[in-house]
Amino acid sequence: MTELRAIAQPRVASADAERAVKILLEYVGEDPSRDGLRDTPSRVVRALRELTSGYDSDPAEILSRTFDESSDELVLLRGIEFHSTCEHHLLPFHGTVSVGYLPGRVVGISKLARLVDCFARRLQIQERMTNQIAQAVEAHLEARGTGVIVSARHLCMACRGVRKESTVMVTSAMLGGLRTDAASRAEFLRLTSMP
């Protein structure tokens, strides 16, 4: 099972991180002291902190407030937009997520969007992020079945390397009843593909 929580790593001081950005600017042949770049190290460090804020989020806490409701039917939230950072090149990837589950416990739909952000706002690969979202829903909502589909464009493929800008990567994770029951799986896939 993929680790659902972030492993707490000691953080370096902001000043050390800013020095590292300054070195990278020098590496590409820039002068970090010129007017347009003077504040860039601190801006980059603040942006990186925001882009990786998911390490400070706990999936169990996000999904802890449930409603005293029951449902025998599929609950689906689709079109959840996200931005993440590829851990291989530190470049963005972005797209949408669909999350469906056969509830054990019912959670507010905004919590599903927060759960996506919890995992997207970390250094990631799309395959792992897809599985982490599904495993968190299954574990914390006692779901009888969980499905997650992620569709994303990766800048590490669009602006470098093979430079294929229109390419979209799609990953899925099906757990429990959405993996084993053909009718439930078909319903999930049909509802996620509707216009």
Residues 133, 66 within the same domain = yes
Is 159 a known active-site residue?
Answer: no
Residues 86, 47 within the same domain = no
What percentage of the chain carries pLDDT values higher than 70? Answer: 95
* Residue 92 belongs to a domain: yes
Is 140 a known active-site residue?
Answer: no
What's residue 70's pLDDT? 78
Residues 78, 169 within the same domain = yes
* Residue 78 belongs to a domain: yes
* Residue 3 belongs to a domain: no
Give 34 or 8, the one with higher predicted confidence.
34
Residues 40, 66 within the same domain = no
Give 164 or 125, the one with higher predicted confidence.
125
Residues 44, 105 within the same domain = no
- Write the secondary structure of 27-52 as one string of H (helix), E (strand) and C (coil): HCCCCCCCCCCCCHHHHHHHHHHHHC
86 Cβ contact list (under 8 Å, min separation 6): 92, 93, 123, 124, 125, 154, 155, 156
Give 169 or 68, the one with higher predicted confidence.
169
The pTM (predicted TM-score) of the whole model is 0.92
| 123-156 burial: b if 16+ Cβ within 10 Å, else e | ebebeebbbbbbbbbbbbbebbbbbbbbbbbbeb
What percentage of the chain carries pLDDT values higher than 90? Answer: 86
Chain segment 130-150, per-residue pLDDT in tens: 999 999 999 999 999 999 999
* Residue 40 belongs to a domain: yes
Residues 125, 29 within the same domain = no
Is 118 a known active-site residue?
Answer: no
Q: Does 75 have pLDDT greater than 70?
A: yes
Total number of domains in the chain? 2
Is 87 a known active-site residue?
Answer: yes
Chain segment 81-101, per-residue pLDDT in tens: 999 999 999 999 999 999 999
Please name the residue that has the structure tokens 């990186």: 48
Residues 102, 140 within the same domain = yes
Query: What CATH number has the domain bearing residue 97?
Result: 3.30.1130.10
Residues 173, 144 within the same domain = yes
The strand pairing partners of 81, in sequence order, are 96
Band (pLDDT 50/70/90 cuts) for residue 1 is very low
**Radius of gyration, alpha carbons of the chain:** 19
Q: Does 123 have pLDDT greater than 80?
A: yes
Residue 193 and residue 74: Cα distance in Å, rounded?
15
Spatial contact of 85 and 92, defined as CB atoms under 8 Å apart = yes
* Residue 8 belongs to a domain: no
Residue 102 and residue 114: Cα distance in Å, rounded?
19
Residues 101, 173 within the same domain = yes
Residues 43, 103 within the same domain = no
* Residue 90 belongs to a domain: yes
Is 83 a known active-site residue?
Answer: no
Chain segment 147-184, per-residue pLDDT in tens: 999 999 999 998 989 998 899 999 999 999 999 999 99
Is 154 a known active-site residue?
Answer: yes
Residues 47, 104 within the same domain = no
Band (pLDDT 50/70/90 cuts) for residue 195 is confident
Q: Which domain holds residue 46?
A: 14-51
Task: Please report which residue ranges of 13-164 form alpha helices under DSSP H.
Answer: 14-27, 40-51, 59-62, 109-120, 126-140, 155-158
Active-site residue, from 18, 118, 126, 132: 126
- Token code pair at residue 157: 């493929």
DSSP state for residue 53 in the 8-state scheme: G
Active-site residue, from 61, 88, 159, 165: 88
